[in-house]
Amino acid sequence: MQLERLRILIAVAEAGSFTAAADRLALTKSAVSQAVAALERELGVQLLQRSTRRLAITDAGAAFIADGRALLAHAAQVVERTRAQQGELSGLLRISSGVELAGLVAPVIAEYAARHPLVRVEYLPTDQIVDLVQDNIDVGLRVTGVRDSSLRAVGLAEMQVWCVAAPAYLQARGTPRRVEALAEHEWIAFTQLTHPWSLRFRVGWRDVSVRVHGRLSTSASYAGRALALAGAGIFGAPDFALRADVEAGRLVRLFPDAQLPPVSLYAAWPGRIEPPARTRAFIELAKTLLGRKRSQR
> Where in the chain are the domains?
1-86, 89-149+269-297, 161-261
pLDDT above 80: residue 125: yes
CATH class of 89-149+269-297: alpha beta
pLDDT above 80: residue 98: yes
Whether residue 234 contacts residue 254, with contact meaning beta carbons closer than 8 Å, is answered with yes
pLDDT above 60: residue 86: no
pLDDT tens digits for range 18-66: 888 888 787 888 888 888 888 888 888 888 887 766 788 888 888 888 8
Q: Which of 254, 256, 257 is nearest to 175 (CA)?
A: 254
pLDDT above 60: residue 295: no
Mean pLDDT of 188-201: 92
Quote the CA–CA distance of 38 and 275 in Å, as a whole number: 33
Task: Please indicate whether the domains covering 89-149+269-297 and 161-261 agree at the CATH topology level.
Answer: yes
Percent residues over pLDDT 70 in the chain: 90
In the 3-class helix/strand/coil scheme, how is the chain assigned residue by residue?
A: CCHHHHHHHHHHHHHCCHHHHHHHHCCCHHHHHHHHHHHHHHHCCCCEEECCCCEEECHHHHHHHHHHHHHHHHHHHHHHHHHHCCCCCCEEEEEEECHHHHHHHHHHHHHHHHHCCCEEEEEEECCCCCCCCCCCCCEEEEECCCCCCCEEEEEEEEECEEEEECHHHHHHHCCCCCHHHHHHCEEEEECCCCCCCEEEEEECCEEEEEECEEEEEECCHHHHHHHHHCCCCEEEEEHHHHHHHHHHCCCEEECCCEECCCEEEEEEEECCCCCCHHHHHHHHHHHHHHHHHHHCC
pLDDT above 70: residue 85: no
pLDDT above 80: residue 74: no
Chain centroid to Cα 286, Å, comes to 13
Cα–Cα separations (whole angstroms), residue 24 to 16, 174, 224:
11, 51, 32
pLDDT tens digits for range 210-258: 999 999 999 888 999 999 999 999 999 999 899 999 999 999 999 999 9
Mean pLDDT of all residues belonging to the chain: 87
pLDDT above 60: residue 146: no
Identify the residue with better confidence: 170 or 268.
Answer: 170
pLDDT above 70: residue 83: no
pLDDT above 90: residue 5: no
Identify the residue with better confidence: 146 or 96.
Answer: 96
Overall fold of domain 1-86: Arc Repressor Mutant, subunit A (1.10.10)
Quote the CA–CA distance of 1 and 286 in Å, as a whole number: 37
Mean pLDDT of 192-221: 92
Overall fold of domain 161-261: D-Maltodextrin-Binding Protein; domain 2 (3.40.190)
pLDDT of 81 reads: 65
Neighbours of 111 (CB within 10 A): 15
Percent residues over pLDDT 90 in the chain: 45
Cα–Cα separations (whole angstroms), residue 288 to 111, 131, 194, 269:
12, 26, 30, 18
pLDDT of 80 reads: 64
Mean pLDDT of 264-272: 83
Q: Which of 261, 10, 271, 220 is nearest to 100 (CA)?
A: 220
Identify the residue with better confidence: 187 or 135.
Answer: 187
Whether residue 120 contacts residue 251, with contact meaning beta carbons closer than 8 Å, is answered with no
pLDDT of 145 reads: 47
At 120, which amino acid appears?
R
Mean pLDDT of 171-180: 96
Quote the CA–CA distance of 234 and 163 in Å, as a whole number: 7
